[in-house]
Every structure is written in C-alpha cells, then in structure tokens.
C-alpha cells in the first residue's frame, strides 16, 4: 500500500473536510473520550467507539504509527453534563454497596469485553481519572494563575467570560445563551461557567443530607473532587502532549464537554489544543437518542442473549456514515445479521487465485480515505463479491477486512447441538440405505432449524443460514 496517502477528515472545528496533516511525520495521536464506569455501556455508546476504531485502522493501514488514548471516568461526572446533580459514581456506590473502585473496575472490564466482542482494538493507553488527581490539581493551579477561575460555596469555577473565543467548537452564541437565561445559575457568574474542582457536598439539591463521599481528595481549595472536563485536558496533555492531532467523541460532547476541554487546555498552554475534532452522530431508537425514556438501551450481552452476533451490530453501524444518525431496531439488526451471514457464506466459497484486485482496492481506499466512508466501502466489497469476472477476491477482501474488522474470512465454528447431530446421523444412515426421500425430509428439518446441509466427498457439511 502507498504510505501516508491523502486522508480527508471532517473537522467539527471548521465544519468542513480537511486533508489530514500530522504534527509529527508518520505519527498520529488520538484521544477518545471514554466511558463513565458506573453502569454498562449501551450500544449507542459503542457505536462511537466503533467509529474511533475504524479511524485508527485507517491510519494503521496507511502505515502511520498510532498512539491512542482512552480515559476512564471514575469520578466527577455528575448526572447532568453541566455540573448539576450527583456524582454518577457515588450514586452507584449507594446502589451497589461496594467500593467505588470495585464498581469502576467491574464496568471497565465489561466495556473491555465489549471491545473484544466487537473487534475494537484496545487503546495504547487507558487512563483513569482517579489515578490522575495530582495532574488535575496542577492544571487547575495553572488556570488559577492565569486569572480565569473563581470560587463559589460549592467549588472552583472557570470564568468563561474571560475568553474571547469560548464556544468556537460548538459555534455557541453566548449572547443568545445569556439572553435566554432561564436556568438557575446559582452563584455562577455566567451560564457557561463550569466546575474545575467541587467541594464534597454535605447536602443534595433538595437539602437532603448526603452520606460521606467515598472518593474525595485534599486540594489547595478544600476537600473535594475534580470536575468532569478537567480530567480529559490533564490526561491528554500527559500522554499525548499539549498539542494533539485528533480528538473524538459523540456529538453530545460538542457544546459542553469538548468546548470546556478547549477552554481549559488552550488557556493553560497558550497553544492550540487539537487539530482535528471528530464527532460521531447518535444511535437512535424510535427516532430519538437512545435513553432511559426512549428505550433501546441494549448492551452487547443482551443482544447476544437474543441470538445476535456482536459483529452483526458492527456491520449494522457500517450501513450509515458515522456523521449521520442511525436508527436502531431489532428488525434492522436482524437484516444486518442476515446480510453479514450471506456475505460470509459467499466469501467462504471463493477460490484463492493468489492475485489481488488493484481496481477494487483503489476504489476502496478512496472511500475510506474520504472521511471514513465505510458505507461506500461496504458497497464496493459487495460489488467485488458479486462481480463474476473479478480476480483476486480472497486477497482483496483480506486487505479490506483490515478496516472493516468483520472477521470476513474467519471460519465459523458451528456448535452443533446434540439434537442436530442426531438428525445428521439419521440422514447419513438414510443415505447409506439409499432412502433418498427420508434423506430429503431430514435435510428440510435441519433447514427449519437454521442450517443448510451440503453433501461433499468428505461427508455432510453444515452451514448456518
């Protein structure tokens, strides 16, 4: 493959596709906002990690050296992204009566299991917020020195009115926000100001006395815990430097979380924080973002219990471009699974002619390098498998699967149940006795149970329908 070809990426900052230029030749640093580990991640969350995985694969395919960092939020993320409500981890502590660290490690491990099932490569670095308290305090001190912080009775806040370009990522209209100010801002000076450090609260918003927090630390400002946004600024700086190539997340992070990360990082360093901001659109359910009230909060394990292959979910996410919303339903997942199985069946029949199709590979490359146009790449793959004249299918598909990560050429190990094995044995006996009618009846019965039987010189072969 050509080295370092032109990769175009849609940058939320400029609202257009740009040709990627690395800070350091041949190297790309990627930071992906990670999970809050108070509960299982749902398939909506996982869509955004599949998108980040494809991004990384595109760079690796192009022979870049990639350093990928994902954080693990195990403190400070309140029930609303805008510093309101209770800490999600502390709520989990009350729900599960366990140590916060035990809860965090459990859901983090579940998340890693999902990565494995979905063929998402683990990052080079996982970093937990609670293991970087020192770095976060240091960064807040730096911001304090720059004169952009102030203290209220519940914490240390970032004064967003001190920045001329606050909200540039989301193109926030601050005047509009201030004019339409209906939300209670309490002691905050501006509606967009956000917490850097929170003092351990004694009471919740309704005046109810709260139990002592499990996770709290000494700081120059008092005992408490870091705000949610500061962890990403501090940890991306530590592992990728002050100026990084790419930062990813879901579109919900644009107006608050990523906007605040930019404010903190750029004020502290005086440098541009991120060159390319990439955001994945939502996985929806009944037309709305998956949520408790809308529904659709499935986990991968729940889909498996319903008989779905996790890679069929990966395939489903490839039907729509990452920047478009994708509606999820069990029916659409079933169609994706059928298509995925059909594709694998066709591929399993191909003969290896030891060649490669430059024509198809070229089309494929230009699709994936055009802002990760995976739906187009998938249609090129289908065209290739259906093209009766095309040569080099096996090796070309092998190359393509480096991006898809769909195990397209991996032979399925079929776990044949005892009852199907019995039917196969009966059919073999019927065939030995030349009882073709019985043999055909048994074939139909096995088919109704979801398997095709083929008679090969080596005996009966099963294939999942």
Residue ranges in contact with Zn ion by CB under 5 A: 33, 232
Residue from 11, 45, 337, 357 that binds ligand AMP (CB under 6 A)? 45
- Out of Zn ion, ligand AMP, none, what residue 35 binds, judged by CB under 5 to 8 A for its kind, is ligand AMP
Helices (H), 146-297: 174-179, 228-240, 259-269
Provide, rounded to whole angstroms, the least separation between the CB of residue 170 and ligand AMP.
Answer: 14
Residues 170, 180: Cα–Cα separation, whole Å: 17
Q: How far is the CB of 68 from ligand AMP (least distance, A)?
A: 14
Rounded Cα gap, residues 49 and 300, in angstroms? 13
CA separation for the pair 281, 290 (Å, rounded): 12
Complex with ligand AMP: residue 213 or 258, whichever CB lies closer: 258
Nearer to Zn ion, 239 or 298 (CB): 239
Supply the minimum distance, in Å, between the C-beta of residue 241 and ligand AMP.
22
Decide: is 33 part of the binding site for ligand AMP (CB under 6 A). Answer: yes
Interatomic CA distance for residues 10 and 371, integer angstroms: 6
Residue nearest to ligand AMP (CB): 250
Tell me: does residue 123 bind ligand AMP (CB under 6 A): no
CB 68 within 8 A of CB 30: yes
110 binds ligand AMP (CB under 6 A): no
Smaller CB separation from ligand AMP, 33 or 66:
33
Please state, in angstroms and rounded to a whole number, the distance separating the CA atoms of residues 45 and 290: 9
Residue 317 binds ligand AMP, judged by CB under 6 A: no
Contact by Cβ (8 Å): 447, 463: no
250 makes contact, choosing from Zn ion, ligand AMP, none, with CB < 5 to 8 Å by partner type, with ligand AMP
Contact 82, 14 (CB under 8 A): no
Distance (Å, rounded) from C-alpha 318 to C-alpha 374? 6
- Number of neighbours of residue 266 by Cβ within 10 angstroms: 20
Rule CB under 6 A: is residue 47 a binding residue for ligand AMP? yes
Given the complex with ligand AMP, which of 90 and 159 has the nearer CB atom?
90
- Nearest-Å Rg of the Cα atoms of the chain is 26
- Applying CB under 6 A, among 29, 44, 255, 310 the residue interacting with ligand AMP is 44
Cβ-count burial 126-144 (b if 16+ within 10 Å, e if not): ebbbbebbebbbebbbebb
Burial class (CB in 10 A: 0-12, 13-18, 19+), 59: buried
Q: How far is the CB of 81 from Zn ion (least distance, A)?
A: 10
| Minimum distance, C-beta of residue 325 to ligand AMP, in the bound complex (Å) | 8
Q: Looking at 11, 12, 48, 236, which residue binds ligand AMP (CB under 6 A)? A: 48
Tell which one of 230, 254, 263, 290 touches ligand AMP (CB under 6 A).
290
CB of 243 to Zn ion, least distance (A): 17
Residues 268-287 that bind ligand AMP (CB under 6 A): 280, 282-283
Residue 190 CB, shortest distance to Zn ion, in Å, is 21
Q: How far is the CB of 410 from Zn ion (least distance, A)?
A: 34
Residue 275 token pair: 């060159």
Q: Rounded to whole angstroms, what are the CA distances from 290 to 269, 284, 327, 333?
A: 37, 5, 9, 15
CA dihedral in degrees (216, 79, 100, 297; nearest 10)?
Answer: -170
Candidates 167, 226, 227, 250: give the one binding ligand AMP (CB under 6 A). 250
Contact 300, 114 (CB under 8 A): yes
Strand partners, 3: none
When CB distances are held under 5 to 8 angstroms depending on the partner's kind, the choice from Zn ion, ligand AMP, none that residue 44 binds is ligand AMP
Pick one of 249, 255, 392, 405: the residue that binds ligand AMP (CB under 6 A): 249
Ranges assigned E (strand) in 178-263: 194-199, 224-226, 244-250
* Residue 252 touches which of ligand AMP, Zn ion, none (Cβ within 5-8 Å per kind): ligand AMP
Q: Which position has the token pair 């998956």?
A: 290
Q: Does 252 bind ligand AMP (CB under 6 A)?
A: yes
Residue 392 interacts with, from Zn ion, ligand AMP, none (CB under 5-8 Å by kind):
none
Beta strands in 325-410 (DSSP E): 326-328
Cross-strand partners of 217: 224
Q: How far is the CB of 74 from ligand AMP (least distance, A)?
A: 11
- As a whole number of angstroms, the distance between CA 328 and CA 286 comes to 8
The residue among 140 and 290 lying less far from ligand AMP, judged by its C-beta, is 290
Binding site for ligand AMP (CB under 6 A): 33, 35-36, 44-45, 47-48, 249-250, 252-253, 280, 282-283, 289-290
């Amino acid at each position: 493959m050509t080295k370092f070809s032109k990769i175009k990426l849609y940058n939320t900052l400029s609202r257009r596709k740009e040709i990627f230029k690395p800070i350091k030749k041949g190297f790309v640093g990627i930071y992906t906002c990670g999970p809050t580990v108070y509960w299982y991640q749902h398939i909506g969350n996982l869509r955004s990690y599949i998108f980040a995985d494809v991004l990384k694969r595109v760079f690796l395919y192009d022979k870049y050296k990639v350093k990928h960092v994902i954080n693990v939020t195990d403190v400070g993320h309140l029930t609303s992204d805008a510093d309101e409500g209770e800490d999600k981890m502390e709520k989990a502590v009350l729900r599960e009566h366990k140590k916060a660290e035990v809860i965090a490690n459990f859901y983090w491990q579940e998340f890693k299991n999902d990565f494995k099932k979905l063929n998402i490569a683990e990052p080079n670095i996982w970093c937990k917020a609670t293991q970087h308290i020192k770095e976060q305090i240091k960064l807040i001190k730096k911001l304090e020195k720059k004169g952009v912080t102030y203290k209220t009775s519940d914490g240390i806040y970032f004064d967003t009115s001190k920045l001329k370009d606050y909200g540039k990522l989301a193109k926030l209209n601050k005047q509009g926000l201030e004019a339409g100010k209906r939300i209670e801002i309490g002691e905050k000076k501006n509606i967009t100001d956000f917490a850097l450090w929170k003092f351990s609260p004694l009471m919740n918003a309704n005046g109810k006395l709260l139990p002592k927090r499990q996770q709290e630390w000494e700081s120059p400002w008092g005992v408490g815990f870091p705000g949610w946004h500061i962890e990403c600024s501090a940890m991306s700086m530590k592992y990728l430097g002050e100026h990084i190539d790419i930062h990813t997340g879901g579109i919900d992070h644009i107006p608050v979380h990523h906007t605040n990360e930019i404010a903190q990082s750029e004020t502290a360093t005086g440098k541009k924080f991120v060159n390319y901001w990439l955001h994945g659109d939502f996985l929806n359910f009944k037309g709305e973002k998956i949520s408790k009230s809308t529904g659709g909060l499935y986990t991968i394990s729940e889909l498996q219990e319903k008989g779905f292959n996790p890679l069929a979910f990966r395939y489903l996410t490839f039907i729509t471009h990452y920047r478009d919303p994708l509606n999820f339903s069990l029916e659409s997942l079933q169609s994706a699974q059928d298509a995925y199985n059909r594709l694998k069946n066709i591929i399993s029949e191909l003969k290896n002619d030891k060649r490669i199709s430059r024509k198809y590979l070229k089309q494929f490359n230009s699709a994936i390098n055009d802002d990760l146009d995976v739906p187009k790449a998938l249609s090129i793959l289908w065209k290739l498998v259906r093209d009766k004249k095309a040569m080099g299918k096996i090796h070309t598909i092998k190359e393509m699967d480096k991006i898809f990560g769909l195990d397209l050429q991996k032979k399925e190990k079929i776990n044949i149940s005892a009852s199907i094995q019995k039917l196969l044995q009966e059919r073999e006996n019927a065939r030995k006795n030349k009882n073709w009618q019985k043999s055909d009846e048994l074939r139909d019965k096995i088919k109704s149970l979801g398997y095709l039987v083929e008679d090969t010189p080596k005996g009966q072969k099963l294939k999942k329908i």
